[in-house]
Amino acid sequence: MSRNIYLESTPLHEALSKWLQRLDSGLVMRPLSGEKIKVTDSLGRVTAQAVTADISSPFYHSSAMDGYAVRFADTFGATERNPKRLKTGEEAVYVDTGDPIPDRFNAVIMIEDVNIIKAKSKEQSSEATATEYIEILSPATPWQHVRVIGEDIVATELILPENQKIRPVDIGAMLAGGHIDVSVRRKPKVVIIPTGTEIVEPGSDLKKGDIIEYNSRILGGLVCEWGGEPVRFRIIPDNLEELKKAILEAYDMGDLIVINAGASAGSEDFTAKAIKDLGEIALHGVNIKPGKPVILGWVKEKPVLGIPGYPVSAYITFNLFAKPLLYKRQGIEMEEPEILRAKMSRQAASVIGQEEFLRVKVGKVGDNFIATPVTRGAGALMSLVRADGFVRIPAMSEGLGAGAEVDIELMRSKSEIESTIVCIGSHDNALDLLANILKKRFPGFSLSSAHVGSMGGLMALKRGEAHMAGTHLLHEETGEYNVPFIKRLLTGRKIILMNLVYREQGLIVPKGNPKDIKGFKDLTRKDVIFVNRQSGAGTRLLTDKCLKDIGIKQGDVRGYEREEYTHMGVASAVLTGIADTGLAILASARALDLDFIPVAKERYDLAIPHEFIETEMLRRLIKIIQEDSEFKNIVTALGGYDVSDMGKVIYEG
Amino acid sequence: MSRNIYLESTPLHEALSKWLQRLDSGLVMRPLSGEKIKVTDSLGRVTAQAVTADISSPFYHSSAMDGYAVRFADTFGATERNPKRLKTGEEAVYVDTGDPIPDRFNAVIMIEDVNIIKAKSKEQSSEATATEYIEILSPATPWQHVRVIGEDIVATELILPENQKIRPVDIGAMLAGGHIDVSVRRKPKVVIIPTGTEIVEPGSDLKKGDIIEYNSRILGGLVCEWGGEPVRFRIIPDNLEELKKAILEAYDMGDLIVINAGASAGSEDFTAKAIKDLGEIALHGVNIKPGKPVILGWVKEKPVLGIPGYPVSAYITFNLFAKPLLYKRQGIEMEEPEILRAKMSRQAASVIGQEEFLRVKVGKVGDNFIATPVTRGAGALMSLVRADGFVRIPAMSEGLGAGAEVDIELMRSKSEIESTIVCIGSHDNALDLLANILKKRFPGFSLSSAHVGSMGGLMALKRGEAHMAGTHLLHEETGEYNVPFIKRLLTGRKIILMNLVYREQGLIVPKGNPKDIKGFKDLTRKDVIFVNRQSGAGTRLLTDKCLKDIGIKQGDVRGYEREEYTHMGVASAVLTGIADTGLAILASARALDLDFIPVAKERYDLAIPHEFIETEMLRRLIKIIQEDSEFKNIVTALGGYDVSDMGKVIYEG
In eight-state DSSP terms, residue A113 is G
State the pLDDT at residue B7.
77
Chain B contact for A518 (CB, 8 A cutoff) = no
A413 touches chain B (CB under 8 A): yes
Q: Which of B43, B214, B634 to mutate to test the interface with A (most CBs of A within 10 A)?
A: B214
Bridge partners of residue B369, in order along the sequence? B364
Which 415-434 residues of chain B touch chain A by CB within 8 A?
415, 419, 432
Q: Which residue of A has its CA nearest to B387?
A: A169
Q: Which residues pair with B581 in a beta bridge?
A: B530
Mean pLDDT, chain A, rounded, equals: 92
> Cα–Cα distances in Å, from A69 out to A66, A79, B265?
9, 19, 19
d(CA B556, CA A595): 104
pLDDT at B122 over 80: no
CA dist B329 and B332 (Å) reads 8
Q: Which residues pair with A449 in a beta bridge?
A: A423
Phi/psi for A274 (5° steps) reads -60, -45
* Residue among A152, A384, A578 whose CB faces B148 most closely: A578
pLDDT of residue B125: 62
How many residue contacts between A and B have a Cβ separation below 8 Å? Answer: 303
The one-letter amino acid at B529: I
Is the Cβ of B592 closer than 8 Å to some Cβ of chain A?
A: yes
For B31-75, what is each residue's pLDDT tens digit?
Answer: 999 999 999 999 999 999 999 999 989 889 899 888 999 998 899
User: For residue B3, what pLDDT is reported?
Assistant: 44
Whether B563 contacts chain A with CB within 8 A: no
Measured distance CA(B4)–CA(B144) in Å, rounded: 82
Question: A569 and chain B: CB distance < 8 Å anywhere?
Answer: yes
Tell me the per-residue pLDDT of A112-168, one tens digit each, with 9 for 90 and over: 899 999 887 666 666 667 889 999 999 998 789 998 888 888 888 889 999 999 999
B1 — pLDDT class (breaks 50, 70, 90): very low
Q: Is A3 a residue whose pLDDT tops 50?
A: no
Q: A592 near A577, Cβ under 8 Å?
A: no
Q: Express as a percent the part of chain B with pLDDT over 90.
A: 77
- Closest by Cα among B650, B528, B639 to B580: B528
Whether the CA torsion A341, A343, A344, A345 is positive or negative: it is: negative
CB contact under 8 A, B94 and A1: yes
* pLDDT value for B457: 94
Q: Please give the DSSP secondary-structure letter assigned to residue B468.
A: B
Q: A639: pLDDT confidence band, cut at 50, 70 and 90?
A: confident
pLDDT at A564: 86
Cross-strand partners of A182: A37
State pLDDT tens for residues A412-436: 999 999 999 999 999 888 998 999 9
Is residue A570 a contact partner of residue A508, using CB atoms and an 8 Å limit?
Answer: yes
For residue A31, say if its preceding peptide bond is cis, omega within 30 degrees of 0.
no
pTM (two decimals)? 0.91
| Nearest residue of A to residue B573, measured between CA atoms | A149
* B2 close to A (CB below 8 A): no
Nearest Cα of chain A lies from the Cα of B431 at a distance, in angstroms, of: 11
Residue A438, min C-alpha distance to chain B (Å): 9
- A382 vs B173: CB contact, 8 Å cut-off? yes
**Which residues 442-481 of chain B have a CB within 8 Å of chain A?**
443-444, 446
- What secondary structure letter does DSSP report for A117? E
DSSP assignment of A128-169? TTPEEEEEESSPPPTTTTEE-TTSSB-TT-EEE-TT-B--HH
A-proximal residues of B, 174-193, CB under 8 Å: 175-176, 178-180
* Closest CA of chain A from B101, distance in Å: 9
Q: For the segment B398-449, what is each residue's pLDDT rounded down to a tens digit?
A: 999 988 999 999 999 999 999 999 999 998 889 989 999 999 999 999 999 8
A1 interfaces chain B, CB cutoff of 8 Å: yes
- What is the distance, to the nearest Å, from the Cα of residue A544 to the centroid of all Cα atoms in its chain? 41
- Residues within 8 A of B (CB atoms), A 361-400 only: 377, 379-382, 384-385
Tell me how far apart the alpha carbons of residues A220 and A231 are, in angstroms, rounded to a whole number. 8
Residues of chain A contacting B96 with CB distance shorter than 8 Å: 266-268
Query: With an 8 Å Cβ cutoff, are B143 and A377 in contact?
Result: no
Residue B128 has pLDDT above 80, yes or no: no
Give mean pLDDT, residues A176-199. Answer: 96
Tell whether A562 lies on the interface with B, counting CB pairs under 8 A: yes
Mark yes or no for CB contact B221/A167 under 8 Å.
yes
Burial of B530 per CB tally in 10 Å (0-12, 13-18, 19+): buried
A526-535 per-residue burial string, b: 16 or more CB within 10 A, e: under 16: eebbbbbbbe
Beta strand segments in B130-179, E = 131-136, 146-147, 158-160
CB atoms under 10 Å from CB of B118, counted, come to 13
Which tens digits make up the pLDDT trace of A507-535? 999 999 999 999 999 999 999 999 999 88
Predicted confidence at residue A97, as pLDDT, reads 83
* Contact residues for B186 (Cβ-Cβ < 8 A; gap 6+): B32, B33, B34, B35
Q: Specify the pLDDT at position B570.
A: 93
pLDDT of B178 > 60? The answer is yes
Distance from CA of B141 to the nearest CA of A (A): 11
Peptide bond into A460 cis (omega under 30): no
B14 to chain A, closest Cα gap in Å: 22
Nearest CA to B166 out of B47, B53, B40, B52 is that of B47
Please state the separation of Cα A49 from the chain's center in Å. Answer: 33
User: For the segment B341-376, what is each residue's pLDDT rounded down to a tens digit?
Assistant: 999 988 899 988 899 999 999 999 999 999 989 888
Name the nearest CA neighbour of B600 among B559, B554, B563, B547.
B547
Three-class secondary structure of residue A170 per DSSP? helix
- 3-class DSSP assignment, residue A323: helix
Mean pLDDT score across all residues of chain B? 92
Pick from B106, B385, B409 the residue to mutate for testing the A interface (most A CBs within 10 Å). Answer: B385
**Does residue A206 have a pLDDT over 90?**
yes
pLDDT higher than 50, residue A2: no
Residue A1 has pLDDT above 80, yes or no: no
Whole-angstrom Cα Rg for chain B: 36
Mean pLDDT of B182-186: 98
Q: How far is A137 from chain B (nearest CA, A)?
A: 21
pLDDT of residue B643 exceeding 50: yes
What average pLDDT score do residues B600-605 get?
94
Residue type for position B359: R
pLDDT given at position B565: 82
Q: What distance, in Å, lies between the first and last C-alpha atoms of chain B?
A: 67
Q: Which residues of B touch A158 (CB under 8 A)?
A: 432, 435-436
